[in-house]
Each structure stands twice: as C-alpha cells, then as structure tokens.
C-alpha cells in the first residue's frame, strides 16, 4: 500500500490547498477526558494486578455482657493488560521526490501524532463495551463490565436495584431532565458493602459531566442551558399567558453544574453517560507503558534491505499502553 498517487505528481500542480487535512487534524485527546479517566498512571510491565480493601465494617450496638461485635472485611483484585500499538506509512522513494506539494513527510507524520488519541479511543470502547480499538473489553473489579445492573456475584450493584444503569425514558429535553434526576436519585441510593451510603453529598454538589451523542445536542442544551418560558399566575387568580411568564431553568436554578460533551464516537444515537466530577475515584484509567517511538527506512539511511530492494520507504510508530475500569460508582449509563 502507498499513500501517494499520481494525483499529486502533476507538473505545475497548484498547492494552495495542500494543507487541507494538515489544518484540520486532531492531535490530542479531548481535554474533558481527564475528568472521567485517570491519565496519570504509569505502567512498569506488560500487565498489572490492582487491588483494594472493601469498605470497613461499621459500628453497631454492643450489648453489655456480650463479646465485642466482630466482622472481617474483604479485598478485591483485578488485572489490566498492556497492548502494543503501531502504524507504518509507506511510499515509493521516487513519488516522494516528485510530490509537487512537498508535504508527504509532514502528512505521514500525522500518523504518529494520532497516538495522542489512544486514551480517548480506549475510553469510548470502555463505556460502550466495544472493541473498535481494544482487543477485549476489561471488566471492572467487581467482575462485570463498566455499566451493569448487578455485580459479579449477581447482587444489586452498589446495593441498589439497577446498579449504574438507568432506563431511558426519551431524548427530548423534558425526558432528559427526568432521567438526569433519576441518576441523582440512584447515586443517593448507592451503598457500600456495609449497607451505608456510598457517596457524600458534596460529591454530587461538585457537578456532572454528560457524554452524549451529537444527535441529541439540541435536546441536551435545551435541558441544561437554555432558559425556558413558564406561565405565571395572573393577579386576578387566573393564569397569565406565556408572554407574561418568567424565565427559568430548573437545573441552573438549583445551582447544579452540568457540563456537556457531545461526541461522534458514541454509536447509539440515544444512549448517554453521566459522570460525577467530584468522584473520589475516577471510573476508569489509562496505563502508559512506553511512549511513542518513531522508526524509519529511507533512501540514504543505509539501514533497510527492504527499501534498497523495492524502492519503498516508510515511517512507522510504536507504543505500548492499556486501559482498565476502576470501581465505576461515579458513572451511570442512561440507555
């Protein structure tokens, strides 16, 4: 395969638009990713075991004369695999010389910059249980995938029926608003393994990030950002017309901070995902084992029999990384 064709080998070719895709390239993951995915964890091997103790037992009544109430607590561990990522971009050495735009090398190197998108692409695989990029979808520490109604033991996940999945009632602004409050109620009902509330109130007060498909952008922005006209009571006890109503937005008036992230990476036009900004633990993480390295075989390098015998040059990039799911109590899927 080559990346250059005779279309760019024409003598006198005009080059005013040679940078069309060079100008629109995406070189880094969306900045909002750091609010839902821990990007700071370094890997030291080809796979890693992680673990934690479950919540400690809670105090209970000690009847006089009885022994002190005693209760052990359990631990959890899970494994995350590091994968190898690579891309080679080839061309014929003479095509490079005859390229009238003189931009072949510059454009080819964009394949290397695309490595910066790996964390974002992994994140969307994780939340959608997909394998567009990841070879397999990892489970969360409790033995099931990112979003599930039950845990690995078959019980209600986080102590609440439905777990971290809320059934969607629609994709209009009013139904999105209703589902949003269903998510808040679900979070308030979550329990630790001892049956006590899992999340402190201030966690929910820190705000929310909603990742949604671009197809429902208007409904999302209407629900959370736009002021809406409501009817007001007339002085005589009647109901005033719309023009006499006041402006309100339920979420804004309750001082709830909602940030929207519309993404074309979501494959279902109606499903959306909501995350707690103030979560004590982010629901997923990226594992960086080895950053991007660039290798090349070019005429004059004298380092490749392939180029000398075929005339094909190339640049290739390699890196090693992976992604895993932490205990995802800070994320709810509305599906």
> How confident is the model over 11-20, as a mean pLDDT?
57
> How confident is the model over 224-251, as a mean pLDDT?
56
Q: How far apart are CA 100 and CA 152, in angstroms?
A: 59
Q: How far apart are CA 225 and CA 206, in angstroms?
A: 17
Report the Cα 32 to chain-centroid distance in Å: 9
Q: What is the pLDDT of residue 4?
A: 53
Res 239 pLDDT > 50 = no
Confidence of residue 21 (pLDDT cuts 50, 70, 90): low
Beta strands in the chain (DSSP E): 37-42, 47-53, 75-81, 83-92, 165-166, 208-213, 228-229, 247-248, 258-263, 272-276, 284-297, 312-325, 331-334
Structure tokens at 122: 């992994």
Q: What is the pLDDT of residue 19?
A: 62
Confidence of residue 95 (pLDDT cuts 50, 70, 90): confident
Structure tokens at 320: 């090693």
Answering whether pTM is above 0.85, one says no
Question: How is 278-315 classified by DSSP, letter by letter?
Answer: T-SS-SEEEEEEEEEEEEEE-TTS---HHHHHH-EEEE
Res 218 pLDDT > 70 = yes
> How confident is the model over 112-137, as a mean pLDDT?
95
Least confident range from 2-16, 47-61, 295-309: namely 2-16
Q: How far apart are CA 298 and CA 321, in angstroms?
A: 28
Q: Which residues of 287-326 are buried (b: 16+ CB within 10 A; e: fewer)?
A: bbbeebeeebbeeeeeebeebeeeebbbbbbbbbbbbbbb
Q: What is the pLDDT of residue 242?
A: 45
Res 15 pLDDT > 70 = no
Average pLDDT, the chain: 86
Would you list the domain boundaries of the chain? 45-52+76-229+240-297+308-334
> How confident is the model over 233-253, as a mean pLDDT?
52
Q: How far apart are CA 221 and CA 154, in angstroms?
A: 37
> How confident is the model over 191-209, as a mean pLDDT?
93
Cβ–Cβ < 8 Å for 148, 154: no
Res 292 pLDDT > 60 = yes
Q: Which residues of 112-135 are buried (b: 16+ CB within 10 A; e: fewer)?
A: bebbebbbbbbbbbbbbeeeebbe
Listed ranges 23-32, 231-240, 295-304; the one with the highest mean pLDDT: 295-304
Confidence of residue 241 (pLDDT cuts 50, 70, 90): very low
Q: What is the pLDDT of residue 114?
A: 87
Give which of 105, 95, 80 is closest to 22, Cα–Cα. 105
CB atoms within 10 A of CB 29: 19
Q: CA distances (Å), 61 to each of 64, 82, 213, 311, in order?
A: 9, 48, 50, 82
Give which of 289, 224, 267, 298 is closest to 85, Cα–Cα. 289
Which has the higher per-residue pLDDT, 311 or 169? 169
> How confident is the model over 71-100, as a mean pLDDT?
87
Q: How far apart are CA 242 and CA 156, in angstroms?
A: 45
Q: What is the pLDDT of residue 234?
A: 44
Res 158 pLDDT > 70 = yes
Confidence of residue 6 (pLDDT cuts 50, 70, 90): low
Res 99 pLDDT > 90 = no
Report the Cα 118 to chain-centroid distance in Å: 11
Q: How far apart are CA 22 and CA 303, in angstroms?
A: 29
Q: What is the pLDDT of residue 219?
A: 97
Question: Which residue is listed with tokens 């004369």?
Answer: 65
Res 14 pLDDT > 90 = no
Q: Is it true that domain 45-52+76-229+240-297+308-334 has CATH number 3.30.420?
A: no
Q: What is the pLDDT of residue 58?
A: 84
Res 237 pLDDT > 50 = no
Cβ–Cβ < 8 Å for 146, 129: yes
Q: Angle formed by the axes of helices 217-224 and 173-189, to 10°?
A: 70
> How confident is the model over 178-202, as a mean pLDDT?
95
> How confident is the model over 242-249, as a mean pLDDT?
53
């Amino acid at each position: 395969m080559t990346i250059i064709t005779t279309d760019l080998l024409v003598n006198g070719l005009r080059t005013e638009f040679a940078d069309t895709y060079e100008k629109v390239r995406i070189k880094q993951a969306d900045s909002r990713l750091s609010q839902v995915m821990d990007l700071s964890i370094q890997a030291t091997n080809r796979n890693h075991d992680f673990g934690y103790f479950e919540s400690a037992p809670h105090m209970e009544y000690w009847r006089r004369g009885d022994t002190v109430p005693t209760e052990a607590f359990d631990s959890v561990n899970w494994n995350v695999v590091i994968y190898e990522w690579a891309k080679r971009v080839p061309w014929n050495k003479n095509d490079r010389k005859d390229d009238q735009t003189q931009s072949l090398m510059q454009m080819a190197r964009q394949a290397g910059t695309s490595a910066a998108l790996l964390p974002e692409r992994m994140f969307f695989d994780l939340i959608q249980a997909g394998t567009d990029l990841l070879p397999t979808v990892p489970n969360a520490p409790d033995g099931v995938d990112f979003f599930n109604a039950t845990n690995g033991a078959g019980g209600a996940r986080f102590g609440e029926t439905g777990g971290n999945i809320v059934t969607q009632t629609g994709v209009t602004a009013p139904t999105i608003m209703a589902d949003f409050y269903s998510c808040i109620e679900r979070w308030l009902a979550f329990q630790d393994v001892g049956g006590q509330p899992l999340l402190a109130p201030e966690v929910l007060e820190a705000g929310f990030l909603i990742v949604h498909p671009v197809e429902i952008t208007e409904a999302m922005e209407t629900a959370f950002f736009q002021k809406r006209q409501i009817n007001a009571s007339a002085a005589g006890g009647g109901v005033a017309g719309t023009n006499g109503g006041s402006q309100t937005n339920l979420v804004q008036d309750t001082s709830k901070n909602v940030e929207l992230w519309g993404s074309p990476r979501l494959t279902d036009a109606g499903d959306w995902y909501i995350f707690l900004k103030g979560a004590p633990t982010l629901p997923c993480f990226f594992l960086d084992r080895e950053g991007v390295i660039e290798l090349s075989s070019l005429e004059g390098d004298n380092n490749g029999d392939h180029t000398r015998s075929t005339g094909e040059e190339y640049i290739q990039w390699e890196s090693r990384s992976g992604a895993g799911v932490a205990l995802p109590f800070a994320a709810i899927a509305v599906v």
